[in-house]
Structure formats: structure tokens, C-alpha cells
Structure 1
Amino acid sequence: MTSYAPPTAHDAVVLAGGGARRLGGADKPGVRVGGRALLDRVLAACADAHTTVVVAAPRPTSRPVRWTREEPPGAGPVAALDAGLRRTTADDVLVLSADLPFLAADTVRRLLAALRAGRAEGALLTDADGRDQPLVAAYRTAALRRELALLTTAHGGLAGLPLRRLTAGLDLTRVPDPVASFDCDTWDDIATARARIREHDHVLDEWISAVKDELGIDLDVDTGVLLDLARDAAHGVARPAAPLTTFLVGYAAARAGGGSEAVAEAARKAAALALRWAEEAEKGADKDTVATSGDAGPDAG
């Protein structure tokens, strides 16, 4: 029997402070895209982290996190990163801003894989113009602490320092991704993100994710199976049977203990029933056709 080692633990630091001046001082982490707060979207993408630290004033979030603040509040991203890093223990750490509407778990895994594939001290995304995005990155924790200590000594503190001062001393590898690196600095950016969420290729996945967040459900389901079931119920029984059947499948799965396997089994049973209904309807239609033809035969001529 083959055994697999668990993935190396990592932590995450999410920077959710700042004044959002280009948004007129709006609460940027709380702005909703696709029905979910930007901060919650980022937290969903890094849900595999052993510890997630959010540097900001505490607020309700879709999952539990640790909270901290830079000193003084508003001292900038380097000071905020230092504050968050003090609450982490893993050898690798994700560093993310809270305004990334298209960040996904797959992107996070790619960053970690790129970091661990060689000797680089950090792996960061680059945007559509090839620019580095140091707040969508995975780093060696020890390397960040080394550079933060050097900056503190050189400048007497970290307040107001730009991130490029921190990353300039790191050996970095880069992962191009113009979509996941898209951040929301302006209301035009927010409008662009909201429009993209509703594009045909994304809307179902986005909607399902939003519903799961809203209902507090952490469950991976095969949406294709449920869509096929809805189609079979609508065609084999009646159109209103589609939503009612999928509701009953969910209820049955919950009674069976929940989980993706319970959903799949309930969906399989309901789909088989819908097909039996369709077959009976077809047989009935065939008999009616034969009967009609038989009645007409003797009178012909």
C-alpha cells in the first residue's frame, strides 16, 4: 500500500488595512464581489493554511482567523507584514492582500510549489504587464524575518517603508498570472471584477461558492451530477421537478450524514428514478400510437 506524506504546513498573512483612498475611504475588504466580501474571497483561497493571520481591525469573517495590528495603525505594508509574521510559526508563509477577487486555491498551491521547487526565498505572481505583485506571494519565513530585521536596524523602524525595500534583498522566482494578480484599487476595478464574475464560464462556480459561504457549508460537490439530475427530472417528469428534486437530494444527503459521497448517492438514486419515469412515459406514448393505428385500420377503404 502506497503512503503519501502530508503537504508541508504553511501559514498565511493577509493584509487588510490601509485607507483605501482611491475608493473614497470605503471599507475595501468588505466590498462585495459576486456576493462575497473581498476579504472572505481571499480567506477561502488560503483555507489550507495552518494559521491565518489578518492584519486589520477584527470583523466577522467566513472562517476563523487570528487578528493583529501594525504599530502604529496605518504604518504601511512592511510594518503590517512584520506584525502578522510575529503570529506565524511555519517555515513557509503566504503573504496576500485582501483585495484579490480572482485568487483561488489552485493559485496558492502553484505559488507554494514554485517556492519549494528550488532554493528561491519567495515566489510571487506577476500581472498582465509583467510587474511583480509582492502581496500575492509565498515566502520563506526565515528570509522575511532576516530582511525585516535588517530594515529595522537600517531605518530605526518599519513605518512608511515601501514593500520594494523588503523584496529587494530576496532571491525571488516569478509565476505569471494576469487574472489571479488582479487587485481592486478603484471603483472601476470593482466594476470590472463584478462583470467578470458574471461571465458564462465563471458564473456557476462563483454562485455555488457564494451560496456555500452564505450557508456556512464546507462541501465539495460534483455540480455536473446535480445539473444532470435537474435536467433528467425536468425532461422525464416536469420542469418544476428539477429544483424540488435537487432540494430533496440535499435533504436526503443531510439525513445520511452529509458529505460529498452522500450527495452523490442520493443524486444517483433520484436520477435513476427520473429515468424510469421517462421510460414509462415513452412506453405509454408508444401504446397510444399503436392503439390509434389499430383503431384506424379496419375502417380504412
Structure 2
Amino acid sequence: MGFDAVLLAGGRARRFGADKPAAPVGGRTLVEWAAAAVAGASRLIVVGPRRDVLPDAVVVREDPPGAGPVPALRAGLAEVRAGTVVLLAADLPFLRPAHVASLLHAVGERPGAVLVDEDGREQWLAGCWRTAVLRAALDGYPGESLRGLLGPLDPVTVAPPPGARPAWYDCDTPEQLAAAERLL
């Protein structure tokens, strides 16, 4: 199935204290790990500042920069051409192409599919969506919450196999980044 990918890589990273997507772990930046997970995308759209590590990506910014995930999704979705889009945070060092393939397979005719963590909680920034459904949901959506936007779409949930390196693990703090380095 052809798809485009949108990586949200422009947040303020208040808990991290630095440019989180550019942080290295396991010899790559976090944004490079996320991009590698969607290596099969027809088009890679990165919402955030331009970084030299992904020269072939389409780079856009939300307005204003750092405004949050919903404005960032709007900016990224404007560049999507495929009928299906994979939406990811740029801080998922353990997400792999096989996880993305599972999401793409699970979406079928549904509006979307999202990974769930070990407790069954939806990971809204690790999902696959029908582009038209996502655009319709965003049209006129006044909120700031991804859960508020995506939850009502009733996506199918995908639980990746358990393991020491959970696909849904994100690095919101320097301590989580250090833990990811140890796991790698």
C-alpha cells in the first residue's frame, strides 16, 4: 500500500531542554530513527526546523512554530499526496518498518490504526490514517488535543509484540533518552 509519512519534529520539548528530535541515540538522531521506520513512504514530510540529516524530506513548519501537535498535523497534512498517511512523533527510537507495516495492514477500510502501549493506551503519535478522513476531521476542529481529534475516529488498535524495546517508547526526557541508549 502506498503511503506518505508525517513526522512531528517541532515541539518545544520543555521536559527535554534541547532539540529533542536531533538528540543522538544508538548512533542516529531520534528523527532519523523515526524516518527509518517509514522508509517505504512515497513522501516524507517533517514538521519542524530543517535538519541536515534528512535531505530528501519535505520540511514544513506549523504556525506559529511550536504551537502543538494539531497545528503541526495541519501543516504536514497539507503536503500529503497519498490516500494513506502514517503519523509519527519524531522521538520513537524503537519503532521499526515492521510496526508500520502492521499499522498499514490493520487500517484496512477503517479510518485509522494506532499502536497501543503495554497498558492498552492509544499512542496517538504512532498511527496510520486514511488521508481524507483525517482532513475531514481537521476541517474546523477547534481543539488542541490529538486525542480529541483522533479518538472519535474510532481507529483499530494494534498491540506490538512485547519486548525489551517497545515500539511505542518515546523519549520525552534526558533520562528516557539514556534508557533508550541502554536498551539499544
Higher strand share goes to which structure?
2
| Partner residue in 2 for 1:187 | 174
Would the aligned equivalents of 1:43 and 1:63 in 2 still touch at CA under 8 Å? no
Q: 2:139 aligns with which of 146, 149, 153?
A: 149
Greater Cα radius of gyration, structure 1 or 2: 1
User: Of 23, 39, 59, which aligns to 1:67?
Assistant: 59
- % identical equivalent positions: 46
The residue aligned with 1:135 is 125
1:63 Cα deviation after fit: 5.0
Matched, 1:162 2:145: yes
Q: 2:11 corresponds to which residue?
A: 18
Distance 1:63 1:46 in 2: 15
Aligned length in residues: 180
Task: Give 1:193 deviation, angstroms.
Answer: 0.5
* Greater per-residue helix proportion: 1
CA contact (8 A) 1:77 1:163 kept: yes
Q: CA deviation at 1:150?
A: 3.4
Which one of the candidate residues 102, 106, 130 is aligned to 2:94? 102
What does residue range 1-301 of structure 1 map to in structure 2 within 5 Å?
8-24=1-17, 26-62=18-54, 64-116=56-108, 119-151=109-141, 155=142, 161-177=144-160, 179-197=166-184
Cα separation, 2, equivalents of 1:10 and 1:127: 24
SS in 2 for 1:21: coil
Q: 2: distance between equivalents of 1:164 and 1:171?
A: 11
Deviation at 1:129, TM superposition (A): 1.9
Q: Secondary structure at the match of 1:114?
A: helix
Distance in 1 (CA, whole Å) between partners of 2:151 and 2:117 is 18
SS in structure 1 at match of 2:67 = coil
Q: Name the structure, 1 or 2, with higher relative contact order (CA <8 Å, separation 6+).
A: 2
| TM-score normalised by structure 2 residue count | 0.94
Judge conservation of contact 1:32–1:38 (CA < 8 Å) in 2. Answer: yes
Structure 1 stretches of at least 4 aligned residues deviating more than 4 Å after TM superposition: none
* SS of equivalent to 2:153: coil
Q: Distance in 2 between matches of 1:68 and 1:167?
A: 22
Residues 132-186 of structure 1: CA distance to partner in whole angstroms, max 9, x if unpaired? 10110000001100110031xxx3xx6xx01112113202100113610000011
When the two chains are superposed, the root-mean-square deviation of aligned CA atoms in Å is 1.2
C-alpha displacement at 1:62, in angstroms? 4.3
Superposed CA offset, 1:7-39 (max 9, x none): x21100000011111112x11001111011000
Give how far 1:109 is off.
Answer: 0.6
Gap runs ≥5 in structure 1: 1-7, 198-301
Query: Structure 1-normalised TM-score?
Result: 0.58
User: Does the aligned pair in 2 maintain the 1:44–1:105 contact within 8 Å?
Assistant: yes
Cα offset for 1:130?
Answer: 1.4
Work out the CA distance in 1 between the residues paired with 2:32 and 2:12: 19
Tell me the SS of whatever aligns to 1:95.
strand
User: AA paired with 1:64?
Assistant: D
